[in-house]
A and B are shown apart, each in its own frame.
Chain A
Amino acid sequence: DSGVTQTPKHLITATGQRVTLRCSPRSGDLSVYWYQQSLDQGLQFLIQYYNGEERAKGNILERFSAQQFPDLHSELNLSSLELGDSALYFCASSVGGQPTYGYTFGSGTRLTVV
């Protein structure tokens, strides 16, 4: 157990729908990062939050949004889902706001859009 908790583990939904993925960071970590891993793709950085504030943005679609709450858990909202959004979504956390030395990943949420 890495200490980073992601729920749900699996999610199957239809095109056009909206889903919310949840992440609880490791105790003491203030930063949360969201990554997407599609088939045969590497880990694509989506967005980072640090202590409730957006810190960095990557290749995140406008249909996607995220937030970090006062208790530091984070949610990734995916709307108007398309087949191509099917992927593994990972959350990671780190103590500080800079990912210089890497971070700890959760076990991921597998999203299947049908």
Chain B
Amino acid sequence: DQQVKQNSPSLSVQEGRISILNCDYTNSMFDYFLWYKKYPAEGPTFLISISSIKDKNEDGRFTVFLNKSAKHLSLHIVPSQPGDSAVYFCAASGRFQGAQKLVFGQGTRLTINP
């Protein structure tokens, strides 16, 4: 089972507040996790990542938290800005049947309201 799930298709947050995007995975063999951001008419772009040996990684306004026991990761954006409005994909990397694979969630559309 290689599923990665983002259960919230959309999220609306007021400018300046915290945005929290969630992602769950089902297989403990995943050992590296990434978040991608996608604007309309563009391809996904890498945002931030975390290794399974860590529980937190921070880059400016973006922080990713990993809870391995719960098989859950989250992306926090503080403070949220209008330019953060985009679709966010989480992805998990792991080795399955001898091959390294990267599996994406369905995405969460984040809208930042002024």
List residues of A whose CB falls within 8 A of some B CB. Answer: 2, 4, 6, 35, 40-43, 45, 55-56, 90, 92, 98-108
Contacts and interface: CB of A to CB of B under 8 A. Distances in A.
Given A101-B49, A105-B43, 14 more contacts: A2-B43, A4-B43, A6-B43, A42-B104, A42-B105, A45-B102, A55-B99, A92-B43, A101-B34, A101-B93, A102-B49, A105-B45, A107-B43, A108-B42
B9 A45 contact: no
Top 10 closest pairs, chain A to chain B, by CB: A105-B43, A42-B106, A98-B100, A99-B102, A43-B104, A102-B34, A107-B43, A105-B44, A42-B104, A106-B43
Contact of A107 (B6, B36, B42, B100): B42
Contacts, number: 61
Interface in B1-15: 6, 9
- What is the predominant secondary structure among interface residues of chain B facing chain A? strand
Contacts of A107: 41-43
Nearest to A106: B43
B101 interface: yes
Interface of B: 6, 9, 32, 34, 36, 41-46, 49, 89, 91, 93, 99-107
